[in-house]
Amino acid sequence: MRKVFIGIAFMLLLTGCIKRPWSPTPTAEHFAPSQNVRLTLPEGWMLNSREDVLLVTRDGILLQNVIVAAVHVDDELKYTKKKFKPGMLPIEQAGVIHDNMASNPNRAAFKVLSKKPAQVAGHQAFRSEVTYKDDDGLRYRGILYGFMQNDWFYLVRYMAPERHYFARDKDQFENIVRSMRLVV
């Protein structure tokens, strides 16, 4: 019975009856309404826009991914009890998001390599670089930008295996950050 179900699902997928969540990135500026942002995405990448997060990848989410998220100050983070508060300084915001990442049980040897002030979409922000190892011991490296506007924390994050992929797509990520604008 299970084989029949899998066969039917496979056939439906092939015929297009099941919607695929990924689509090519638009050639023009992209509007992500759930995150309240407009940004230019790299050509040839794939996009998955869900209610909670905008996810973009070139070769697959385990090889590199960019996440754009908007977190309300009342929302609980998955791995930490720390919360965002209106009026937090960017360095305090970085502390909250770093604690959430460090507390993730699927990330070992989490380390913050750098943390400094930045500007994103005309807002005072932080920029940090981090590393961690996954369950298989593969070392990932990431860049995070974060800032607050009113009761919302905005995160733009890039993650990729440190060898090869991180350096290869880093500039594409920085272009995404430079293009980002809040929709007001």
How many domains are there within the chain? 1
pLDDT for the residue 147: 98
Q: Is residue 123 part of a domain?
A: yes
pLDDT digits (tens, 9 = 90+) for 75-122: 999 999 999 999 999 999 999 999 999 999 999 999 999 999 999 999
CA–CA gap between residue 53 and residue 178 (Å, rounded):
19
pLDDT for the residue 152: 96
C-beta of residue 67 within 8 angstroms of C-beta of residue 160: no
Q: Is residue 161 part of a domain?
A: yes
Query: What's the predicted TM-score (pTM) here?
Result: 0.86
Confidence band (pLDDT; 50, 70, 90) for 17? very low
pLDDT digits (tens, 9 = 90+) for 150-181: 999 999 999 999 999 999 999 999 999 999 99
Residue 182 has pLDDT above 80, yes or no: yes
Q: Is residue 108 part of a domain?
A: yes
Q: How far is CA 35 from the centre of its chain?
A: 11
The residue range of the domain holding 62 is 21-182
Q: Is residue 84 part of a domain?
A: yes
| E strands, the chain, in order | 23-24, 30-32, 37-39, 46-49, 54-57, 65-72, 108-120, 123-133, 139-149, 152-161, 181-182
Q: Is residue 95 part of a domain?
A: yes
CA–CA gap between residue 155 and residue 53 (Å, rounded):
10
Q: Is residue 4 part of a domain?
A: no
Q: Is residue 10 part of a domain?
A: no
The CATH code of the domain that includes 53 is 3.40.1000.10
Q: Which helix (H) or strand (E) holds 99?
A: helix 90-102
